[in-house]
Amino acid sequence: MYSTKLLSNLFLFVGTIIILIGVGMFLLDISSEGSSHTTRHGTYVESETINGIGTSALGALLLIISLFFNFQYKKEKANKRK
């Protein structure tokens, strides 16, 4: 029961931090990039980049997971009281 509360708080904290980083990346027009290209067995492979919008979306996903764990915790707490 308390593990879901702990996970809820952890995902809430991490999700909020990642959203703040994403907003900062968006406002400062920063993107995180890897190497420009690599070849793997003769095949050209592009590297992926993540920008502020992608980082904020990742943070929002973590907040949704936090809400799920919070609802689970409340449900377990209500069932324990019965």
Is residue 11 scored above 70 in pLDDT?
A: yes
Kindly state whether residue 27 falls inside one of the protein's structural domains.
Answer: yes
Kindly state whether residue 45 falls inside one of the protein's structural domains.
Answer: no
Number of structural domains (the chain) is 1
Kindly state whether residue 64 falls inside one of the protein's structural domains.
Answer: yes
Mean pLDDT calculated for residue range 16-25: 93
Mean pLDDT calculated for residue range 22-30: 90
Which residues lie across from 46 on neighbouring strands?
37
Kindly state whether residue 41 falls inside one of the protein's structural domains.
Answer: no
10: its two tokens: 């952890």
* Per-residue confidence (pLDDT) for residue 45, from 0 to 100: 59
Residue with tokens 């027009």: 29
Average pLDDT, the chain: 84
Rounded to two decimals, the pTM is: 0.75
Domain of 20?
2-32+50-81
33-57 pLDDT, tens digit each:
665 555 666 666 566 778 888 899 9
Closest CA to 18 of 49, 58, 50, 68: 58
Kindly state whether residue 77 falls inside one of the protein's structural domains.
Answer: yes
Kindly state whether residue 37 falls inside one of the protein's structural domains.
Answer: no
7: its two tokens: 């996970």
